[in-house]
Structure 1
Amino acid sequence: MIFKQFMICTCLVLLVSCKTKTLNLTKIEGKQIQISEELPPNQDLIDFIKPYHDHVVSTLDSTLAYAPETYNKNDGTFNTAIGNFMADVVYEQANPIFKSRTGQDIDFVLLNKGGIRAPISKGNITSRTAYEIMPFENSIIVAAIKGTQVNKALNYLSKSKTAHPVSKLKLVINSDFDIVEASVKGQKIDDNRTYFVATNDYLYNGGDNMTFFKPNDTAYVLNYKLRNAFIDYFTKVDTINPMIDDRFIQIQ
């Protein structure tokens, strides 16, 4: 009996002694390291990164095409050479992808002037050029919308007084910014027809107050970034030839 009591007491002592202690944080210490010329470089890290750095720089700066002039988004009132060029490139690069998947052609392209973030400078065009004019990760989306929504898009363009890039679309407005003429691929807008309009995901989701893409019959995500479309186009041409034309004009 005494031995049994001894064993019970021993087990209780062991259980109490094995109990996990609760640790509480009472203090945090640290110091600020200033990044300056006095901070010595880590040569091992520099040597590790250098091959990747050199490869990226070489890829970005390799010549793809040539620009005979400098093209700026402020060089026109209602349409600009760079804006026309960018919209036309989106059509040329995206339409074969869209047609292969759906059997349909894109009817027109609508982008936004604000999305052009840099000019295309005269001289060699590189991949870096594409990153400069389109630094965002925006991708191409084709929305199937009715003619009534196309008319809303045209009204938006006429009232915005801005050179938003368009392709395969013609719009003529008067001095009061009322629409005088409008067509898609040379045909008048049919309210009941479904039109396939290529844009980017930012505008499709209402960016720049372009709310006319929704609701829609269908939206086709091409998984094709705008920037990549430009790089692919630059790769297959020798010299670009952007031009201001009559796709969006104002008559007095």
Structure 2
Amino acid sequence: MKFALVLATIAAAVLAQDASPDNNFIEIVGGTEAAVGQHRYLAGLKASATGTSSCGGSLIAPNVILTAAHCTGHKLSYVVVGSHYLSGSSDGVPAKVVKEIKHPLNNPKTYANDVAILVLDRNITTIAPVRVSFETVPANVLTWVRGWGTTSSGGAQSSVLKEVSVKSWDNAKASIALAPNKVDATMLAAGGLKGEDSCQGDSGGPLTIEDAAGERLVGVVSWGIGCAVLNKPGVYGRLSTAQAFIQPYLPKT
């Protein structure tokens, strides 16, 4: 996973030397600062209401955040939705997490089905949820990832929201590139250009497609081998295979 805790620096240094999946909480490497006030559905998961974000997430309903399963169980009891900044909540909407629900088939060893739902203590009505898409994303599709993760493997987190565009991979080719780790059907690989990737602290954050059909969420940041390593894509939880789990939490239309 790509989770930015205090131990992330140590873990990232070790993981950079072997072929094990990076199970730290992840950040954007090689991207640019996102425009202030856009993509406000992004959420930062925090241990305290005014602390720094350790994982990312996306508002998918007024009181529901979609994140990575590996971001649960770490006492990240607060979220701030709509903030541009890593710390605090002055420009966002804070809420408390009252329930964490991991995908029932989540495998914490392989990161299969690495998606989870966070239920909030309030409805957030001033920020529109992102549209969730269960489309199957093929190879060579341009996608976007955003977060406050580290700007290099084991480095410091970004103080502002960053973004980078990455192209999707074929799962079989991604499995070869990331061997012996398997990119299974519940995963979506993207990236692999040296210098552009998600990294520690971006975990759980959104992978989106943005084209003439609009912006839509298709994945969540999950795991990788190091950060921004040439020909080694980052891996995301694929939402198309988690529809039965996610659909009940979406707004009824």
Both proteins in one fold, TM over 0.5: no
Normalized per residue, the structure richer in helix is 1
Larger Rg, first or second structure (1 or 2): 1
For normalisation by structure 2, the TM-score amounts to 0.22
Normalized per residue, the structure richer in strand is 2
For normalisation by structure 1, the TM-score amounts to 0.23
